[in-house]
Amino acid sequence: MDLPVLLSLAALALVDSLSVGTLLVPVFLLIAPGRVRVGRVLLYLAAIGGFYLVVGVAIASGADWLAEALAPVIDSEPVLWVQLVLGGGMLVGALVLGRAAPKAGTPEAEAMLRRPSRLGRWRDAAMSADRGALALVGLALGAGALELATMLPYVAAIGMLTSAALPLPQLVAVLAGYCLLMVVPALALLAGRVLLRRLIEPPLQRLARWLQLNGPENTAWIVGIVGFLLARDAASRLGLELLGTTF
């Protein structure tokens, strides 16, 4: 693989590192009351990184076979119309979700920050209970599963690797490196939390607050982009004219 492709993959991995599962949840774990449990945080990061790796290898290794098997169905006109409607629905839903997200400084935003969240309850159980390790792995798998529909950067990276026609061992190695880079920001925050506790805790609290407030809006952007791409692809293959342009 040449350097530009590797740099593109690294950029996509860093975008993926800003997701709920790879950044928001680790930050919530790091600001849990009491002494930070390094082993638990590392277990979570290993679990979500491993989840992404397994999903990536499964998609990449079966991409050619799946595309060939589904081509007659995917290219049929009824399915393309369904794709167009689905993409448009996702785009409209993203606009609604973005408008519904509470804005910083509003009473709604403050109420959301004060309200006990399911994530907070899971965190407390995972970081303190005797069987917390199982809860932590479950939290990682749940976060990864919820992001399957919006892992646009990862899908783009898998597409690049599939186009490169890499042997399976090399494909797994590159994807493993991608998943490792994806959790590097969280690892850096963990190191800062352990070594520079008094300095790092206030910024972590502010980062957690910002991520919690902007999570719905960021998700809306991702869903909207995916919806637009789906609708545009369907319109192109149907020969429709959208916004005065034939795709």
Q: Domain residue spans in the chain?
A: 3-74+103-215
Q: Quick one: pLDDT band at residue 244, thresholds 50, 70, 90?
A: very low
Torsion of CA 117, 127, 217, 231, to 10 degrees: -110
Q: Where are the alpha helices (DSSP H) in the chain?
A: 3-16, 25-30, 38-74, 77-100, 107-114, 118-128, 132-146, 152-163, 168-182, 184-195, 197-238
pLDDT above 90 covers what percent of the chain?
Answer: 13
Residue 79 is predicted with a pLDDT of 77
Give the tens place of pLDDT for each residue, 103-124.
555 565 555 555 545 555 666 6
Give the tens place of pLDDT for each residue, 216-227.
666 666 667 767
pLDDT over 50 at 243, yes or no:
no
Query: What count of residues does the chain have?
Result: 247
Q: Quick one: pLDDT band at residue 247, thresholds 50, 70, 90?
A: very low
Which whole number is the average pLDDT over 204-224?
67
Which residue has better confidence, 73 or 156? 156
Give the tens place of pLDDT for each residue, 46-63.
999 999 999 999 888 776
- 245 bridge partner residues: 242
Name the 3-class secondary structure at 2: coil
Residue 181 is predicted with a pLDDT of 95
For residue 206, what are its two tokens?
């502010």
Q: What is the mean pLDDT of the chain?
A: 76
Burial 65-75 (b: 16+ CB within 10 A, else e): eeeeeeeeeee
Query: Rounded to an integer, what distance in angstroms lies between the CA atom of residue 213 and that of residue 110?
Result: 9
pTM of the predicted structure, to 2 decimals: 0.66
Report the run of H or E that residue 24 belongs to, with start and end: none
Residue position matching structure tokens 């998943």? 179
Are the CB atoms for 201 and 193 separated by under 8 Å?
yes
Q: Angle between the 184-195 and 168-182 helix axes, to the nearest 10 degrees?
A: 40
Which whole number is the average pLDDT over 175-201?
90
Give the tens place of pLDDT for each residue, 84-101.
888 888 778 777 766 655
Query: Rounded to an integer, what distance in angstroms lies between the CA atom of residue 80 and that of residue 96?
Result: 24
Which residue has better confidence, 227 or 26? 26
Query: Rounded to an integer, what distance in angstroms lies between the CA atom of residue 122 and that of residue 35?
Result: 17
Query: Rounded to an integer, what distance in angstroms lies between the CA atom of residue 81 and that of residue 64?
Result: 24
Residue 32 is predicted with a pLDDT of 74
Q: Quick one: pLDDT band at residue 184, thresholds 50, 70, 90?
A: very high
pLDDT over 80 at 214, yes or no:
no
Give the tens place of pLDDT for each residue, 136-172.
788 788 878 877 766 778 888 888 888 777 888 898 9
Query: Rounded to an integer, what distance in angstroms lies between the CA atom of residue 57 and that of residue 168?
Result: 9
Torsion of CA 121, 98, 185, 60, to 10 degrees: 100
Sequence-ordered list of residues with C-beta below 8 angstroms from that of 64, at least 6 positions apart, any chain: 162
